[in-house]
Chain A
Amino acid sequence: ETGVTQTPRHLVMGMTNKKSLKCEQHLGHNAMYWYKQSAKKPLELMFVYNFKEQTENNSVPSRFSPECPNSSHLFLHLHTLQPEDSALYLCATTTEQGRFNEQFFGPGTRLTVL
């Protein structure tokens, strides 16, 4: 069983749709992250959760709404997105925020907003 899974792997949505991205980790980690990877741009950190509490919101527009119901699951709720939000959305986890442990990434969700 892979450590970090993300569903769906691909998503196409209109600007008026509401959808959710899901991340699930089986590593027992307590910190989870959402990153956005746009074409020809570095990965951008969006949100950080540590022990289910949001500890970082990197000036992300409110049309992105994260949710962390438990230490194994992380969601990104999407509504009224814009075409420029089309990107690869990556979830990552690590054992403890603040340590130099490597972050383990999921395979990502490729989002296209029409």
Chain B
Amino acid sequence: AQKITQTQPGMFVQEKEAVTLDCTYDTSDQSYGLFWYKQPSSGEMIFLIYQGSYDEQNATEGRYSLNFQKARKSTNLVISASQLGDSAMYFCAMCSFVAGGTSYGKLTFGQGTILTVHP
């Protein structure tokens, strides 16, 4: 079974500063993918960034980057130069690849972290 843990129910950051959102995961699978999604108040889930379990380098996408520590089973999201529009709920999720199994394409989500960016 997979489990995603986001221990920060809420985070606050000043505009233009960087913020780190924590995520740890638990899985016995060797091959898996880790995702971060942003959910604004409108409800839509917006894909931000992806890290594969065998990727040696930390993923980066614009202002988003991951601090992926496989041994610690953590994949923290770093948002640099925060903007007011970054205020939203952020979800960490994972998908495992199980040969011959049925977990293909299934995402397991954490409980989310509400990020508030102050001007």
A residues near B, CB below 8 A? 31, 33, 40-43, 45, 48, 50, 55-56, 88, 90, 92, 94, 96-100, 102-108, 110
Contact = CB atoms under 8 A, between A and B. Distances in A.
B13 interface: no
Nearest to B33: A100
Given A42-B4, A98-B104, A100-B33, A108 B43 contact: yes
Interface of B: 4, 33, 35, 37, 42-47, 50, 52, 91, 93, 95, 97, 102, 104-112
Contacts of B105: 31, 33, 48, 50, 94, 96-99, 103
Contacts of A110: 43
Contact of B97 (A33, A92, A98): A98
Given A55-B102, A97-B105, A107 B43 contact: yes
18 contacts: A40-B111, A42-B108, A42-B110, A42-B112, A45-B107, A48-B106, A56-B106, A90-B43, A90-B45, A97-B105, A98-B97, A99-B105, A100-B52, A104-B47, A105-B37, A105-B45, A107-B42, A108-B44
Nearest to A94: B105
B107 A103 contact: yes
Q: 5 closest Cβ contacts across the A-B interface?
A: A105-B45, A98-B104, A97-B105, A100-B33, A102-B47
Contact of A43 (B44, B52, B109): B109
A110 B42 CA distance: 11
A42 B33 contact: no
B44 A107 contact: yes
A43 B111 CA distance: 8
Contacts of A92: 45
Given A41-B111, A42-B112, A108-B44, A102 B106 contact: no
Contacts of A43: 91, 93, 107, 109
A48 B104 CA distance: 10
Given A45-B107, A90-B45, A108-B43, 15 more contacts: A43-B107, A43-B109, A45-B106, A48-B106, A55-B102, A55-B104, A88-B43, A98-B104, A100-B33, A100-B97, A102-B35, A105-B37, A105-B44, A106-B44, A107-B43
